[in-house]
Structure 1
Amino acid sequence: MSIICFLTLGAGCSNNNELPEDPPRPTYHENISIGSGVPELMLAWQANKGYTVTIIGLEGKYVPADGAAICIEVFPVGVQSSKWYKTPYQEAEKQDGKLICKANVITDSGSEFKVTDTYIADNGKGILRLSRVVDVLKASGKDYAFNSYFIIQNETQQEISGYEYFIPSLIYKDESNLNESSIGADFTHDWILAREERMGLPLVMLRDKSTGESVALSDYNTNPVTFKEDFGVSHLVNANMHFGSLGFYLGKRYPALVYCFPGSEGEHTYADGGGSREKRWARRSHPVRNDVKHTYTLELQFKKEADFPKALEKHWKTTFDLYNPEVLEVDNEDVMKYSLEVLDHYWLKDNDAPGFPFSVHLPGGEVNEISYSMGFVGMQIPCAYYLYREGLETNNSVYADKGEQILNFWARNSSAHNGMPRIWWDISPWNFFRNYNDLRNMQGGLEAMILAWSHAERHCPGSKIDWLEFCQKSANWMLEQQHDDGSWDKAFDNAGVSVDSGKLLTSNLIRFLTYMYIATHDERYKKAAIKAGNFCYREIHEPYKYVGSVIDNPYVKDRESGQKIIEAFLCLYDLSGDKKWLEGAVQAAYYTVTYMYAWNIPVAAGNNLMPWDNRKTTVGITIISTGHSGADCGLSYNSFEYLRLYILTGDKYFLRIAQLLEKNTKQTMNYDGALGYAYRGLQTEALRLVTHWGDGVKLWLPWVTASALDPLFKIRDAYGDMDIERIASEPLSALKQKDAMYATYQGIKY
């Protein structure tokens, strides 16, 4: 049986309360609801007004802002400011488990919009789905552009400080550790709205600290298209924009969840490629025309969790399952082959200093800059290790010799008089080490050096004792520099004097010290690693403060700080068996993966900034940090750790992430020839997947090849294969046995 209620209203800045003289059908003053648990959507009739909307959650009730289910912002011709039109539903019909609600909005200039909202409740998943269609029935010619909004808030008006906030890659818990021009950095703004293409998934969440209830709003958008001129902060009006924006309205000092379509962005924006601490908008609107397609589908999710990290995990997984991203077919043998060929090709020697160029132009492959950084983005030692190891294992003397020369250079030249590893060598005409040495660079280089030594021991015992001695000098220097609380300062000059006392890079040294303990059985290294881990647990894990490992964008929340905690805590779990380290790695893994695109952002129509076709997908590419929308393949490094988390926890979600990171991260590599780069193994260092789509540095740096090769070697070491799909076909019990063996030796072979 259908229940139909009807009322015609004019909608403006205030509602028109006059009844039509001749209603087209009788009015039934009956309330309507759908959902028999959580959520429940209730419509209550108010005579001469329309329907009020209440959504029952687990602890609270949620209502549209200002009582208006429909909000349309209209920009009149020749007028700089906009006018808002708000109205409740005027019609409601319950049909086949769905609730269909309608309203007409007539502007002051005579334009008419028809809004049709269809709701479906899924009590089993705690979800309410809304599908909205806005039809322009009449365009007066005096109205230029429009946006529609869905805005909902807790009926109990609680202050901003009473909530925790989440927007993937943008806001985690609160506005702390964001730079001042970041979206979300200023909660005194009325609006925090961000384009959804800046998010790993289009999702925004509020969690009530007092009740533990969280409510999230996600957009189910399978085609968020735009066009190449979509750039800058000018107000753009175009029917070919089909992306939204998500965020919060804080204007009345208690928060509301907001979706805006098309996706206007403010009061901070990166729409011109940068950021500004000043309030500013990048408005995007549809024209007021009869042929405009203005439709979208939203989901409201309701959950109750003991803490913010668990709420984030549950809402992310719910939205991830909604999008169900596809794992691509990529041949790992090709990836390894082409990546090693790139290293072989670009190996060079300048003034007797062997290495790889710091950067190479794309697409042509011409060398751009030559300088040698042992880790981070330069990754001289790791890339040399891959060549050396492959040479030993395949009897390729060219690879082995080239890798060995680079490793010898660092082992013989990097140590300062006090044993500190100096990280960056500038070749001719300078030929000196830069006077700045950070822990992130040390980590990348030293881990690879001890692994290279262990493989040399396996093939040529005793031949590379100087490599081990270099690592021991570095580790012993670290023991001397470690503070009583377990931390290290971030960076030192060449004399070993601290030049940055920030401590949040402490996580970066834990895996190296673990390797050193396994290689030497020196208990001091194990003790130092656990002491550092306890610092990270207190200062990073517990306050949810994954900050600082993107050293060229320091002291802000970033993806790589999560990556380093995963690596560090898994090593500590291997050392001690203490479950707190596994739990810490799991929390960091959920945080980190929210920077990953788990949905496809189509290339902007007419864009020629980067070759791309519909065979490729942005799924697996990850945003680097808060404060901007630059993205890269950097989470490729951790396909191994996510595979381990699957094996250690049995959670198949981690297996899926591992597969995506193993395969899909190669979409920015020329492995199939589609990108037209000079070599198949070349891969862009960073790009944007939002205005301008595909714009980026147009450079290869050694780290991108390291991110492809490193997990493949580790996966093969641990499980005897480097294809995760084949590995996952084995019984979990068998994989646990292999993993336990790996945990004992961590790839250190001698």
Structure 2
Amino acid sequence: MKTISQECIEESDTEKIIKNGDYSLILREGDEGFAVFLQNGKEIVGSQELPAWITVRGSDTLLTGEYIETDYKQPYHQVIRKKYGFCATSSVNTEKGSVFIVEDKYTLLKDGVFGIYRDVKVKEARAEDVGFASTISFQTGLRSSDNNDFEYFIPSVLYRNTSEVREDAVAADLNTDRMYVKETRTGLPLAMLREKITGTTLTLMHYNPRIDVGQNPGGGTFYEVNDALQYGSIGYSIYPSLSVDFHYPCAEGPRTYEVAGRKRDAKTIWSKRYHSVKEGNIHSYSVALIPDKKDNYNEAMMYAFGMGYKTEEPTIVDMNMDEIYRQNIELFKAEYRMFGKGNIKAAGLPWSLDLPDGTNTEGISFQMGFVGQQIAVGYHMYRYGLDHHDSETKEKGKSMVDFWVSDAIMKTYFPTVWWDPADNATAGQRREYPSFLRCFVDGMEGLLDAYRISVAHNEPQEAWNQALKRVASNLVKKQNEDGSFYRAYKTNGDVETGGDRNTHGTSKLNTPVAIRFLVKMFEHTGETKYKEAAIKAADFSYNELYLKLGKYVGGTPDNPNTVDKEAAIFALYGFNAIHELTGDMKYLKAAEHAANCAMSWTYCYDFAIPNRDAMDAKKNPFVKGGITGFSIIATGHSGADNFIAYMFYEMYKLYIKTGNELYLHMAKLLQNNTKLNTDFDGRMNYKYRAFMPEATNVADLAFRSVSLWLPWASIANIEPIVNLEEAFGKKDLSQIDMSLPELRSRLTIYGVGGKPLHR
């Protein structure tokens, strides 16, 4: 452990103190031993009165089949000064006679962050004590058990409170004694707790996690005792007073996504793991403790995540962006298809391709945006063909875009967004599916890009421009009085009131999706109706999501209208765009919040995912690690994908605007590490290097995936590369050598993405 400045350490007969800015971590001796207090001056903001907490599982079970657990808590019995801070030890004895030695090393990790390194050793073992776990827990100074007195943050799981979260989600109910979440369900394994009255905030994070399950795909089963299971859980104790906890090894409940041979009952099941009570056994881990005080939840959440990220400081890998771009274009060129025997030709890519061999088992259907991203694919092929004098690729891209502006798609008020192609006179038929705002805005942004590049190469495709302006104008006409838009429409322009459990057509919480597109349309046309509509939509989003909710909802049409990653990303798009349009700094602050929310869904630490069988070995790109940069999709499950790759260009813009180096590091991580799930280096022997798995669960420590490549995944990887090149002349952030003033000037010239391109 590193030596810290001795000026940060004070001690007296009864107190051992480590100072860090305004905060002091104090090991204070009482009648029974040492307790731990975190203070800001004389104000107690956190405490562990009995810090040595061991949970022991016996061999006996309850009628429910659950094993009987017993908690043992002790103060420290000795505290010794060290160069790194203080070493505190305690002896914990069980009723059966087992003895545990708890040794906690207190230190400083960085400015504003305390560190605790824990070792628990089994000194004496009794057969009746089978397994053990330990917990580090800090209660707040408020000493309240009313969960409504607090605001919460667990990345990828819980934002502010339980509103807009599915009822079966792991953190959907805080009316319980404890709530723990498996740490691998989080972008960063931390839990934040903020007192509403005082603004005092405590964040506890598993620092430098060394996650491993050995030869145990799935990470063990319910109540298993296994020393190879090296992962924990993060969460809260609610009773007798609210605290932030890290528990090791993992306990998840009272809701869990694990099945593990049992009938799932998300309201009652705890899934727990233990290490063995055998003499000499040791388990070790470290946590970061981050105190703070903020006037509001949004500031507290941003500080907690930012400090956690900087403390963990994930490693950025090297990656060749030119090669990544080329690999995806090659896939597009190879998988292009065309259908139709009449005037209309439906051209595009298959809905999906199987890993690893590229078989198309799910058939061929075309979706304008969202999953299918057919217009965006067409644009990128068209652009590549123009820029590289590749007429075949250019014509393939053009034919894809041409189809989406044809009468088959555009004859209704809002366009058809999903098409089932066939080799007949009509080239297929529309699929009965709502015109989700997300689907057609994705499509229209791709169409705008295609038109801009056609003009740049002096072959303007006016039919594309007319279709684009028609849809954009129709969207403005449907804006609600409060500035919002609905989540889904019928093709006749009416709001969609039917559909399945994912539709929620009348929700207004997806409004941020429209903002960037409207700003681009103002840049493109100069028509003030788009500027006015964008500002109204931004104000609705600012007030209803950023201020009132402190979270973002409903980014994905194929999930329920719940808190999710893509909603946060589109909020970043929107707030970034409206800030560039208006210069209003409130939008920049909202953009920073949305960026931190979105980033919090991203794995910022690494672990390996074992194969369950030989088939997994052909598909699993994470067997040696590489999770960093992969990202969880939504609350209510732990499926993950690569969508966060879209965001590196927008994150880079935040760095340019604010000068905050944190955003530059995040942008580089999103640029490079998001490619680790592809076959960029040929190690997987996929049919295409650009292949990657969609909808994959890594949180449960076994490779479970739909094992499909979908078109959007490639667009996510290359769209920000292209945006960066158009704006700054380079495909790779590491190649850009400009000062911040120069970068800001270039960004102003380029705009949000609606101004003319130049060749």
TM-score by structure 2 length?
0.90
Shift of 1:63: 5.7
Report the secondary structure of 1:365's partner residue.
coil
Of the three residues 252, 257, 262, the one matched with 1:270 is 257
Name the residue aligned to 2:514.
509
Aligned to 2:563: 557
Which residue is 2:25 aligned to? Answer: 41
Residue deviations 1:468-500, cap 9 Å, x none? 111122112112211111111111223332112
Tell me, in whole angstroms, the C-alpha distance in 1 between the residues paired with 2:107 and 2:703: 37
Give how far 1:614 is off. 7.8
Q: C-alpha displacement at 1:92, in angstroms?
A: 2.3
The one-letter amino acid paired with 1:165 is Y
Q: Which of the numbers 359, 364, 370 marks the counterpart of 2:364?
A: 370
1:566 alignment partner, SS class: helix
CA contact (8 A) 1:359 1:701 kept: yes
Residue 455 of structure 2 aligns with which residue? 457
C-alpha distance in structure 1 between counterparts of 2:42 and 2:415, whole Å: 55
Does the 8 Å CA contact 1:548/1:556 hold for their aligned counterparts?
yes
Give the direction of change, closer, same or farther, for the CA distance of 1:58–1:164 in structure 2 (3 Å limit).
farther
CA distance in 2, matches of 1:354, 1:458: 24
SS of residue paired to 1:513? helix
Does the 8 A contact of 2:555 with 2:564 survive in 1? yes
Q: How far off is 1:644 after superposition?
A: 1.0
Q: 2:661 aligns to what?
A: 652
Aligned mates of 1:404, 1:113 — CA distance in 2: 70
Cα distance between partner residues in 2 of 1:276 and 1:506: 35
Distance 1:88 1:305, change over 3 A: same
Q: Distance in 2 between matches of 1:326 and 1:100?
A: 30
Unpaired stretches in structure 2, ≥5 consecutive residues: 1-10, 62-66, 497-504
Counterpart of 2:601 in structure 1: which amino acid? Answer: Y
**Residues 131 and 545 (structure 1), Cα distance of their counterparts in 2 relative to 1, 3 Å cut:** closer
d(CA) in 2 for partners of 1:163 and 1:423?
A: 43
Shift of 1:662: 0.8
Inter-CA distance 744–563: structure 2 relative to 1 (3 Å threshold): closer
| Corresponding residue of 2:590 | 584
Cα pair 2:180 2:236 within 8 Å, conserved = yes
Answering whether residue 140 of structure 2 is matched by residue 150 of structure 1, we say no
> For the structure 1 residues 292 and 747, does the alpha-carbon distance in structure 2 shift closer, same or farther, using more than 3 Å as the test?
farther
Identify the residue that residue 575 of structure 1 maps to in structure 2: 581
Structure 1 residues 197-208: aligned runs within 5 Å: 197-208=184-195
Q: CA RMSD in A?
A: 2.3
Report what 2:388 is aligned to.
394
- Per the alignment, do residues 322 and 275 of structure 1 end up closer, same or farther by CA in structure 2, a change over 3 Å counting? farther
SS of the aligned residue for 2:92 comes to strand
**Secondary structure at 1:545 match in 2:** coil
The corresponding residue for 2:225 is 237
Find the aligned partners of 1:705 and 1:225 in 2 and give their Cα distance: 30
Aligned residues of 2:350 and 2:364 also touching (Cα < 8 A): yes
Distance 2:264 2:755 in 1: 43
Post-superposition shift, 1:744?
Answer: 6.9
The amino acid of 1:203's aligned partner reads L
- Displacement after TM superposition at 1:275 (Å): 7.3
Asked if structure 1 preserves the Cα contact closer than 8 Å seen for 2:17 and 2:24, the reply is: yes
Structure 1 residues 550-699: aligned runs within 5 Å: 550-604=556-610, 609=616, 610-612=619-621, 617-699=626-708
- CA offsets, 1:380-427, max 9 Å, x none? 110111001111111111111111111111101354545311111122
SS of structure 2 residue aligned to 1:82: strand
Cα shift at 1:88: 1.4
Q: Distance in 2 between matches of 1:385 and 1:640?
A: 18
Identify the residue that residue 483 of structure 1 maps to in structure 2: 480
Give the deviation of 1:707 after TM superposition. Answer: 0.4
**CA contact 1:359–1:699 (8 Å) conserved in 2:** yes
Corresponding residue for residue 546 of structure 1? 552
Contact 2:577 2:752 in 1 (8 A): no
Q: Does 1:412 align with 2:406?
A: yes
Q: Which residue of 1 aligns with 2:540?
A: 535
Say yes or no: does 1:54 pair with 2:37: yes
**Which of the residues 136, 147, 151 maps onto 2:122?**
136
Give the CA deviation at 1:62. Answer: 5.0
- C-alpha change, 1:693 and 1:402, in structure 2 (3 Å) is same
Residue 497 (str. 1) matches residue 476 (str. 2): no
The CA distance in 2 between the partners of 1:566 and 1:586, in whole Å, is: 7
Equivalent position of 1:24 in the other structure: none
Instruction: Mark the CA change 1:538 to 1:473 in structure 2 (over 3 Å): closer, same or farther.
Output: same
Match of 2:274 in 1: 285
* 2:421 aligned residue: 427
Residue 71 of structure 1 is matched in structure 2 by 53
* Matching of residues 292-331 of structure 1 within 5 Å: 292-331=281-320
Query: Residue 734 and residue 165 in structure 1: after superposition, are their counterparts in 2 closer, same or farther (change >3 A)?
Result: same
Structure 2 partner of 1:732: 740
Identical-residue share of aligned pairs (%):
28
Say whether residues 1:445 and 2:443 are aligned partners: yes
2:477 and 2:507 map into 1 onto residues whose CA distance is 17
Aligned to 1:5: none
Matches within 5 A, 1:86-125: 86-96=73-83, 98-121=85-108, 125=111
2:220–2:273 CA contact under 8 A, matched in 1: no
Say how many residue pairs are matched. Answer: 717
Give the distance between the partners of 2:55 and 2:37, measured in 1 at CA. 23
Q: How far is the alpha carbon of 1:291 from its aligned partner?
A: 4.6
Deviations 1:251-272 (A, max 9, x none): 33x3111111101111111223
CA distance, structure 2, for counterparts of residue 726 and residue 732 of structure 1 = 15
8 Å contact kept, 2:524–2:755: no
Q: Quote the Cα distance in structure 2 between the aligned partners of 1:97 and 1:407.
A: 63
- More displaced 10-residue stretch of structure 1: 291-300 or 423-432: 423-432
Residues of 2 paired with 1:409 and 1:372: CA distance? 11
Gaps of 5+ in 1: 1-27
Shift in Å, 1:745: 5.8
Relative distance call for 1:332 and 1:370 in structure 2 (3 A) is: same
Aligned to 1:248: 236
C-alpha deviation, 1:685, in angstroms: 1.5
Partner in structure 1 of residue 500 of structure 2? none
Aligned-partner residue type, residue 97 of structure 2: G
Letter in 2 for 1:395: H
Q: TM-score, normalised by structure 1?
A: 0.91
Greater shift, 602-611 or 568-577, is seen at 602-611
Structure 1 pair 121/586, CA: closer, same or farther in 2 (3 Å)? closer
**Native 8 Å contact 1:59 1:213 kept in 2:** no
Residues 705-747 of structure 1: CA distance to partner in whole angstroms, max 9, x if unpaired? 10011111100010011110111x3222221221111117645
Correspondence for 2:330: 341
Q: Is the 8 A contact 1:233 1:272 kept in 2?
A: no
3-state SS in 1 of match to 2:86: strand
Tell me, in whole angstroms, the C-alpha distance in 2 between the residues paired with 1:371 and 1:399. 21
The residue type equivalent to 2:481 in the other structure is: D
Tell me how far apart the structure 2 counterparts of residues 341 and 502 of structure 1 sit (CA, whole Å): 39
* Structure 1 residue 512 displacement after superposition: 2.0
Tell me, in whole angstroms, the C-alpha distance in 2 between the residues paired with 1:308 and 1:685: 33
Matched, 1:360 2:353: yes
Distance (Å, rounded) in 2 between the aligned partners of 1:303 and 1:749: 46
| CA–CA separation in structure 2 for the residues paired with 1:258 and 1:408 | 56
* Residue of structure 2 equivalent to 1:403: 397
Deviations 1:550-604 (A, max 9, x none): 2222321111111111111222222222222222211211111111111112224
Deviates most, 357-366 or 505-514: 505-514
> Cα distance, 1:533 vs. partner?
1.3
Residues 36 and 333 of structure 1: CA distance in aligned 2, closer, same or farther (over 3 Å): closer
Where 2:605 maps in the other structure, the secondary structure is: coil
Matches of 1:744 and 1:361 in 2, distance apart? Answer: 36
